[in-house]
Each structure stands twice: as C-alpha cells, then as structure tokens.
Chain A
Amino acid sequence: MLSAKQYKSGVKPIWCPGCGHFAVLNAITKAFAALEQAPEDAVLVSGIGCSSRLPAYINSYGFHGVHGRALPVAAGLKVARPDLNVIAMGGDGDGFSIGGNHFLHACRRNVDIVYIVMDNEVYGMTKGQASPTTPARWEHSKLTPHGPEVRPFQPCAIALASGASFIARGYSGDPNGLAHMLFEAVQHPGFAFIQVLSQCPTFCPEQKQWKETVHLEEVCTDDPVKAAAFLHGDDGLSKGIFYRQPRPTWPVEHPDTQPTNLRKSFEI
C-alpha cells in the first residue's frame, strides 16, 4: 500500500507558487492512495497548457499529448485497454476551446474515463489571455481591454446536456474534498467530468477570493431535470457532485462483431 507521497514522481513541478494545480496533484495522489491504485495500472493523459504538465509529476503512466486532444487519446486507450484506469486532464482552454468538440462527444459516448479540467479561467501558459470560461468583464488582458464581453462557457451544464453521467465541481483550496470526488469519479462506471476551480495567482490574483466564496452544495441527484435546474441557477462557485446516473458505457459489446466473427464475415 503506497502513501500519497509515493505516487509523486521525482520531477519538480514548474507551476507558479500558489498555483491551484498543486492542489489537484495532491488530490490525485491522495485519491490513488485511498484507491490503492497500482501505479502501473493507471494512465494520465493530458493536452497542452500549464495544467497538462501534471502527468509528468505522477508516478504512473502518462501521455502529454496534443493540444485539445486529451479526450480522444484517453478514450481510444480505454477502449483498447479497458483494464486500465484512464484519467484525462487539461485546462479550460485545452478542454473547452480547442478541445471543445471532443468534450461534447466524450460526454455523449460515455467511455469509462475520468476527465479533470483545471479551470483557472485564463490562458496562463501564454501569459494571461481570456479563455472560454473567463468572466465577461475580466479586464486584465490588453488583448481584451474591456473583457471578453461574452458569456462564459458553462462546463457542467454543457456536460449534462451532452450526456455525461457523472458531473462534479471541485476547488483547489480543498484538495481533500477534491480527492474524495476523484475517488468517487474513478469508481463511477462511465464518463466522469470534474471541473476544478484552480486558482491562477499570477494572472488572476482576484481568484484568492474563492477561499471565501466557493461553497459546498450537497445536491447530488440522478435526475437530469433536477440537475439542470440546479446548474442553470448555479453561481459557478458551488462545489460538490451535482449529477450521477450510471448508464451503458461505450463501446457497446456485440458478440456478433467480435474480431473472430468479423473475420468470418469477410471470408470468400
């Protein structure tokens, strides 16, 4: 049985001091310790961005992949190797902008993987531009001096509408609560989506306030109508598991389309 610390690799994170992604790293190692996860049976797949560096910091298999493409890589891996615990991850730009369409279809397909989005509402790696989840009035970038002036993307509501079967939101200021969410998400049979409010102290120092404003909501339901009603009234700062309804995962098993049978159908 490994301790949480033993799931960390020897690679030192290069995130800024105070970055919320440290908390996500700690939450993953704590969840793995609780799950007694064999390091060789887990794979962390990421895209590009500050948060996507995370697989290098964990003592397991990792794939630091192509921008926005963590989900198709992770889904393909899980379909090929259903025995592995596959966790995809990335940031709000990677997941909701360039990877946005993959997000919709991953929710819809319900492949049995976990997807963690470390959402700091900013493009941190490229020095602080507006992302899909940036508040409309965020005026900290010279590229958008009046703020992006568009409504932020609503990840949890969109995940629900797209068919995700497990939807949660965590907070980097609560790594233990996030570890618990991950523990549940890994054991959920199907696509489990966790949005993490992960503060960027460098480009969004105002996110320090999350410590006071993020609040726990114990509203978990298996009723999509109730979940939708909650998410549409949500202030974006609630944390908790909001929706959990197991449904058949993809790919669906068809005995008549096993490789041996397929081979027969092509015989002349």
Chain B
Amino acid sequence: MAIVVKSMATSGVDGFMVEIEASTIRGQQQGMFIIGLPDQAIKEAGERIQAAIESCGYDIPKDKVIISLAPGDKKKRGSHFDLGMIIALLYQTDQIAPKNLNEYAFIGELSLDGRIRPCTGVLSMITEARKCGVSSVIVPYGNRQEAESVSGINIYPVSTLSDTVKLLESGVLMDSGANDKDSSGGMEGSNRDASNLTDTESAGIGMDFSDVKGQDELIEAIMLGAAGGHNILMIGEPGCGKTMIAQRIPTILPRMTEKESLEVTKIHSISGLLDAGEGLIKMRPFRAPHHNVSLNALIGGGSYAQPGEVSLSHNGVLFLDELAEFSRSTLDALRQPMEDKRVTISRVNGTNSYPANFMFVAAMNPCPCGYYPSKKCRCTDYEIIHYRGKISGPILERIDIQKSVAHVDYFDLDSQKSSFTSAQLREKVEKARKIQQERFRNDDQVNCNAQMTTTMIQKYCKLNEECTGILKRASEKFGYSARVIHKLLRLARTSADLDGSENIRREDIVRVLGCRDLDVSSSQMYAIA
C-alpha cells in the first residue's frame, strides 16, 4: 500500500495542496521514478534523496520506487518537495515510524548530507495549508519567520532530516541546533500573533524626508499624491534630487495593514526575494527598474509566469527613472495594470494573475540635454517636444501630478533647512486617507480620490464661484481638456482633505494648478506641433 504525505506547491501567488505518494514494487529493476508533471528540479530530487538517505544512515530501497505528486495533471515546480518525498519513502520502507503523519504538511529542500534548505513561496503555501485544514507544517529553519507570520497553524521549523524524523516519532521538536540560536526558533510549534505591525519607524532603511533640502514645493506635491493615491511625474535637471525624493515616498505612505503586508510578502516570497530569516514585509516596497527593463520583467512573465516589477511593487511605489528612455512598448504595457490594479500573465506552464496596485512615480529630464530652461540648455523646442512625445498620451493621462523639480543651490543657506520629516507627512497623509475611506466606504472599486469616477467628482468636488473662475481662466490659457479638469478636481479634493476641509477652497485650486508644470512648459514651446 502506498504512503501518502502532504506537501504544498505554488501557482502564481496562491498555493495548492500536493499529495506525495510513495510506493515500492518488488522484483522490478531498481530505480526511482518521480511522476506527476515534475520540472527538472523535482526530477533531480531523486538523487538528493538517495544521497541524504545514505548519509543519514538509512537504507536505499532495493526495489523500484515510484513517487507520485498528485494531482497528476497539474504542473509542479521547485525543490521543496524533497522533504515530503523522503519522509514518504522512509515510511513506506518501514525505516521510520511517524505518528499522526496526515496532520503534517512538508516543505523543504534536502541537501546531500540531510540538512534542510530554505525555499521560496513558503508564505503562500502555508496560507493555503491553513485553508485546507492542515494543522501543522514542517518548514526549513531558514523560512521560520516567514512561516510564523501566518497565524492559526502550527509551524515546526527544522534544520535536518533527523530532527524531522524525531519530531514525527515523538511529536516534540528537538532543539534544532541551528546556527541561529535565538529563542524565536522555538521548542514548540509556535503559533504566534502576527498582527503586531506597529512598526514605528520606517523599518530602519534610514531614509527620511528631512534629508531633502530646498524642495518644499515638490514635497508638498508628493504629499498630495501620497494622500490621494495620485501618480506623480517629476521633471528636473540631472542631480536635483528626483531619485532621492522618490526613494522616500514609501516613508510617508500610510502603514500597511496586515492583509496588505501578507500580499506583499507572498509575492516577494514566490519571487525568491525574501531575505533569509525575514518575516512579514512591513515596509511598503519601492521598486526602481532600470530603463532597459524588458516588457516581461516589468509586467511579469518567464516560462512560469513569474511576477514582474508591477507586482513586486504592489502596495508600494513603482519608480521609473528617466521615463523618456523606456521603450514605448514597455511603457504602454503599464496601462492595463495601472487601470485594473492587477495583471494576468499567460504562459505555457500556466496562467497567473498577480495584484499590481502600485503608486506610479516617474522622473524625467525636461529636455534631451537635461538642463531646460536654464542657459546651459541648447535643445531646440522641436527636440524638446519630440523628447516629451516619447511618453505616450495614455500614460501621461494617468499621471495626475507633473511637478518640476527646482535646481538646488548647495551654498544657499535658506535651502539648508528641511521643513518636513517623514513622520509629520505620514501623519497628514494618514488623516487624509481616513477621510477618503469614510467617503468611499460604500464602494469596493474606489478607495482613494485618484480613483473617483465622473459621477463622484460631480458629487464630491463642488466648486464655489471664485474657484470656478480661477479654473476657467487657467483652462482657457493652457487649453485643458475636460479630462485634465477632472484630474485637477480630484487633486483639489485631496488637497482639501489634507487640511480636513469639507469644501474645496481657493487655495486648493491654486495649489493643484501648480501641479501641471509639464503642460505649462510645453505650452511655451515655439513650434508647430
């Protein structure tokens, strides 16, 4: 009779359960056969298992061994089935005597000497295991923090095969003797409360808006963007601090909820980007792909439809520096994820859907040489228009705030002082977000001002006569379309929310009109466009 051992696998960000069946057939040629649509890493498990069996003092079966991964029609990948396979095989050949084997699920890669190595996607697998009613999961010691962030399931971190066998036979986890002797390894299967996400300061990345000097106007615009979920484009000459500011945006975004944090960690876990020993990711991700990034790396792809940068920056910031240098097709591919907050990637080995709800922050130079409008610039207006035209209209349409970054004079004493700290800004942003959550509590699709529909704009963005007049004059001067006006109204709503004002005031309109620098600058070009 075949032995059945539970293990987990991932498909996209979600896990699914895999049952490992081991069987031996007497009288046939000796060998190990792994079936159930395994990938190369799983096929090689046979050799790892034989080496581990040998080095741990067990006997390699003399019969034909068949290991089947069920469901047999679903493709599986990864090296984390090793542990489940070896346990199933040892039990099948009566070399170990585990108790309550069907309560456990096994995740872990074997090394040749019987140690258990960490693997990717553990969080997704454990979340799914809990859903499937598995009560205990055995995970590699290196993944324990990630695993322990799931509550309501027993986690047993193990570092060697013999520990695992002892645990299964006695029901007690021995001191794993891992290099890391801190108490969090735990003697008992730990069932920790993962909800303490009260991460006080921005998780020690040592970045704060107080480092940024002389860019007060821009920082206010950034705060506006962060408060209303508006996308931002910064335009400025080289070396004025665009990248520095972008890196600090996660420090003023509202703290992640546990749910958001889990989503982020899952994506990073299946991408193998979680550092060893790292638990839940509490800091909002900041991703800054270089401008030669391929379409598949940005959106997601590869033969297993892995998540791309848009998903890795889920719940965080996707920063594209030198926006005009990105290839047009790459940029245009961003349109759908920006709209749907999700990407679906189809490949031979499956179709996966990943969340992609990011704040889009971009930076570009004002002209090809980078110095417009200073005297240094020798670009012609036609070149500047051509350069700016590289960013397609639909992408620009999705960017509410276009702010030019002022040139910083290092020796100007006035600009030495910093007016904002991240903590202050974040407090304001969180307050504004709270107002928005209250406003949109009846709507699932909309949760911040940037996502307001036209009907909502009419409902929530009423202007008094004075404000209408200012907006009308500006719109006539720069030829704003109705769509741009809607953008401005959304921004004005956020601006009012930041100050806790119920109505949109004069200063809100003035503030948001200052957020269209690219339009203003482009309208001054002397050219036939």
**Is this pair of chains taken from one and the same complex?**
no
Q: CB within 8 Å of A: which residues of B?
A: none
